[in-house]
């Protein structure tokens, strides 16, 4: 059987105790040295000439050819060959050429047609080769030189002083010969007397002029590449014969490939595997983990290694095969984008909250918070008031005045309050509001109401200073204003003279307190039925001190800008601009008139020019003893009550005197009304007994 028949002992498994190197050259299976069991066959058994002086200088031999390198992946072995040469001054038995023969017949080795080049060097040199019997083939090249030729530049072998040619496929034996075509003494003297020929690896040789003069077989041993196979059949025929037998040299995870340089085949690892295809599974072709090296896979998503391959999974949120392309957006990108949006939104919210906090703090400071927070008055937050008033819903609106709107507030504990919020909706009034309300309604109202403690004065519970314009929080008065009961509801409660007298007395007591007992004295400056509130027991309470003025010590007259409500405004104050406590007397006189008659001070008609000043009509009726024609009907009025009504009417006329000095004091009015009320109560008690 030819060399391909392999004994069972040569089955491709890991060979224990087999040398791995000879000198510096690694010996991969199917090659081996020493014991024949270490190689695939005798043809692959190499010799290692060990050096006694140094292991690194040991020589590995294929026959008598020194081995330079072995490649299992390429199926090649590189050996060192010789350089035949012929010199013109040589005379060897009349021979005019020299040759070198190599024979690889009967071995798995073949001269590589793709990796080698036949090179001839010299002037007038003919280099050629042929098979050993000169019956199969022959080929060569000619190198000729003519003076003058510049050969000092290194470069490829191009035909001037050097020529090269390929060899055909399947060459196992050939003779290399070199001879002179025509001896030229001048060329010999200029370039050198010798011609050379060799077969070498195609990338080994670069031609230069020095090669013509000094190249010898002593210092130049060119590397020559041999292809090798492990079987002489084709893969197709071998598969039909013994591919599954125990002598098949290829290991697991391998493919059989036909040689492209003559008959035979060799083994290679399948795609996705690497290693020695002639060894067993544990040592031969092993799976490549492509996922560990990004240069070995193209994967946009998650790489998962498989036997001989790998798979790609697109990132979560994307679709596709992962190798060519993934479409859509990564979940990480989406999450990152959403996270960035959430972060930006969070930062905007934080910045907005911080901006509001700073704004509230600035407003608090500008509204006198540093001073007021140390006084015995509660400071409410804006958040508390917004929640209590349902964000100042219109359904909570109790009333609206020149300086602000009043809303009903309900706290979490069920307590009720009245929130007076500055009215800044009209932008044209902002400057006026800042000047009048902030300086007067806020500063004066706080300083006034915070020091007033009277049962017939609405009590200030606290302040909110966080807004641009501060808000005042009062006790909640449940039964609305006297104006509503007189002119809107026409309340049955007011049909009782006793109730009207009591309300008048309570108002006078509150105003007397402001004029006489408050320190310093206070002029309300806007006494009217709309600013008289009635609680659940219909007790009168004076409210709205936004226009009030403190009377400086030692003074009785204040020079100030005209402020008040048309119909209630003191005519003397209107003319002179001088405000006194008697101005409140006139306004109170108007309220008394409303209680007596149930009429507004100005009776308005469709044509403003036809409006009626009811105050003058009232005064005229009282002075002419025709009071009955203007009085509001009372239930069961007896003679005693009629006398009280007339007395109160006359008191009202005194308060309505156009001259302030002629008006009584509020103390006198309060004493008279209080006396009438007590007298009425006493008489009622006696009647009931």
| Long-range pairs of 419-428 with CB within 8 A, sequence gap ≥ 24 | 419/385, 419/388, 419/389, 419/392, 419/464, 419/471, 419/472, 419/473, 419/474, 420/471, 420/472, 420/473, 420/474, 421/385, 421/392, 421/471, 422/467, 422/469, 422/470, 422/471, 424/468, 424/469
Spatial separation of the C-alpha atoms in residues 485 and 595, rounded to whole Å:
10
Q: Report CA-CA distances (Å) from 208 to 72, 160, 216, 417.
A: 34, 11, 14, 112
Q: State the Cα–Cα distance between residues 655 and 660, nearest whole angstrom.
A: 8
The alpha carbon of 230 is separated from its chain's Cα centroid by a whole number of angstroms, namely 63
Q: Phi and psi for 267 in degrees, rounded to 5?
A: -115, 140
Look at strands 612-613 and 318-319 and give their pairing. Answer: unpaired
The strand pair at 404-410 and 397-400 is best described as: antiparallel
For residue 531, which of 590, 597, 452, 470 has the smallest C-alpha distance?
A: 590
Contacts 24+ apart (CB under 8 A), 66-74: 66/221, 67/22, 67/25, 68/25, 68/223, 69/25, 70/25, 70/26, 70/27, 70/28, 70/31, 72/28, 72/29, 72/276, 72/277, 72/278, 73/268
Cα dihedral 340, 346, 348, 352, rounded to 10, equals 180
Under 8 Å between Cβ of 592 and 666? no
C-alpha to C-alpha distance for 191 and 214, rounded to whole angstroms: 10
How far does Cα 146 stand from its chain's mean position?
Answer: 78
How far apart CA 130 and CA 136 sit, in angstroms, is 8
* Rounded Cα distance, 589 and 583, in Å: 10
Q: What is the DSSP string of 615-637?
A: HHHHHHHHHTT-GGGTPPP-TT-
- State the Cα–Cα distance between residues 87 and 193, nearest whole angstrom: 5
Cα–Cα distance for residue pair 201/688, rounded to 1 Å? 144
Q: Are 264 and 232 in contact (CB under 8 A)?
A: yes
* Catalytic residue ranges: 526
* Residue 147, C-beta contacts closer than 8 angstroms, at least 6 positions apart: 186, 187, 190
**What is the torsional sign of CA 492, 497, 502, 504?**
positive
- Among residues 616, 615, 621, the alpha carbon closest in space to that of 645 is found at 621
DSSP string, 299-363: -SSEEEEETTEEEEEPPTTEES-SSS--EE--HHHHHHHHHHHHHHHHHHHHHHHHHHHHHHHHH
């Amino acid at each position: 059987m030819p060399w391909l028949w392999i004994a069972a002992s040569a089955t491709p498994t890991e060979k224990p105790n087999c040398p791995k190197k000879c000198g510096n050259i690694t010996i991969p299976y199917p090659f081996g040295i020493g014991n024949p069991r270490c190689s695939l066959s005798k043809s692959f058994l190499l010799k290692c000439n060990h050096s006694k002086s140094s292991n690194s200088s040991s020589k590995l031999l294929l026959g008598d050819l020194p081995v330079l390198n072995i490649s299992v992946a390429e199926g090649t072995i590189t050996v060192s060959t010789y350089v035949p040469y012929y010199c013109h001054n040589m005379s060897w038995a009349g021979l005019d050429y020299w040759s070198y023969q190599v024979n690889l017949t009967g071995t798995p080795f073949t001269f590589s047609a793709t990796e080698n080049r036949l090179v001839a060097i010299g002037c007038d040199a003919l280099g050629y080769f042929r098979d050993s019997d000169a019956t199969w083939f022959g080929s060569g090249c000619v190198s000729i030189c003519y003076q003058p030729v510049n050969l000092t530049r290194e470069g490829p072998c191009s035909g001037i002083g050097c020529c090269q040619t390929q060899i055909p496929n399947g060459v196992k034996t050939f003779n290399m010969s070199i001879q002179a075509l025509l001896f030229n003494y001048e060329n010999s003297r200029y370039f050198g007397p010798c011609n050379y020929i060799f077969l070498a690896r195609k990338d080994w040789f670069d031609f230069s002029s020095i090669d013509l003069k000094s190249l010898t077989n002593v210092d130049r041993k060119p590397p020559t590449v041999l292809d090798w196979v492990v079987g002489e059949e084709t893969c197709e025929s071998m598969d039909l014969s013994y591919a599954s037998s125990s002598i098949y040299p290829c290991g697991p995870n391998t493919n059989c490939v036909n040689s492209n340089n003559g008959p035979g085949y060799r083994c290679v690892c399948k795609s996705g595997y690497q290693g020695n295809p002639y060894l067993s599974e544990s040592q031969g072709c092993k799976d490549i983990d492509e996922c560990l090296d990004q240069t070995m896979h193209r994967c946009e998503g998650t790489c998962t290694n498989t036997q001989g391959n790998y798979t790609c999974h697109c990132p979560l949120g994307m679709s596709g095969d992962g190798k060519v392309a993934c479409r859509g957006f990564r979940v990480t990108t989406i999450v990152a984008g959403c996270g960035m949006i959430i972060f930006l939104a969070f930062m905007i919210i934080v910045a907005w909250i911080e901006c509001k906090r700073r704004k509230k703090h600035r407003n608090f400071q500008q509204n006198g918070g540093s001073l007021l927070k140390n006084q015995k008055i509660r400071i409410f937050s804006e958040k508390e008031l917004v929640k209590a008033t349902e964000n100042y819903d219109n359904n909570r609106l109790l009333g609206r005045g020149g300086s602000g709107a009043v809303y009903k507030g309900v706290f979490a504990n069920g307590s009720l309050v009245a929130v007076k919020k500055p009215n800044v909706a009209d932008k044209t009034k902002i400057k006026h509001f800042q000047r009048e309300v902030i300086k007067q309604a806020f500063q004066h109202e706080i300083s006034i109401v915070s020091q007033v403690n009277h049962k017939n004065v609405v009590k200030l519970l606290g302040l909110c200073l966080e807004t641009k314009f501060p808000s005042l929080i009062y006790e909640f008065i449940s039964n609305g204003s006297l104006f509503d009961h007189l002119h809107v509801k026409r309340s049955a409660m007011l049909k009782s003279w006793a109730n009207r007298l009591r309300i008048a007395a309570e108002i006078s007591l509150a105003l007397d307190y402001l004029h006489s007992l408050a320190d310093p004295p206070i002029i309300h400056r806007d006494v009217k039925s709309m600013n008289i509130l009635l609680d659940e027991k219909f007790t009168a309470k004076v409210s709205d001190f936004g226009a009030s003025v403190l009377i400086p010590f030692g003074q009785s007259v204040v020079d100030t800008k005209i402020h008040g409500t048309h119909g209630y405004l003191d005519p003397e104050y209107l003319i002179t601009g001088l405000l006194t406590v008697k101005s409140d007397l006139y306004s109170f006189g108007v309220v008394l008139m409303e209680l007596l008659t149930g009429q507004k001070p100005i009776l308005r008609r469709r044509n403003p020019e036809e409006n009626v000043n009811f105050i003058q009509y009232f005064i005229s009726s009282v002075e002419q003893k025709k009071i009955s024609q203007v009085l509001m009907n009372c239930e069961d009025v007896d003679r005693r009550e009629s006398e009280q009504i007339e007395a109160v009417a006359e008191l009202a006329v005194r308060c309505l005197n156009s001259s302030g000095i002629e008006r009584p004091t509020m103390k006198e009015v309060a004493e008279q009304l209080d006396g009438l009320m007590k007298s009425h109560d006493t008489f009622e008690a006696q009647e009931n007994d």
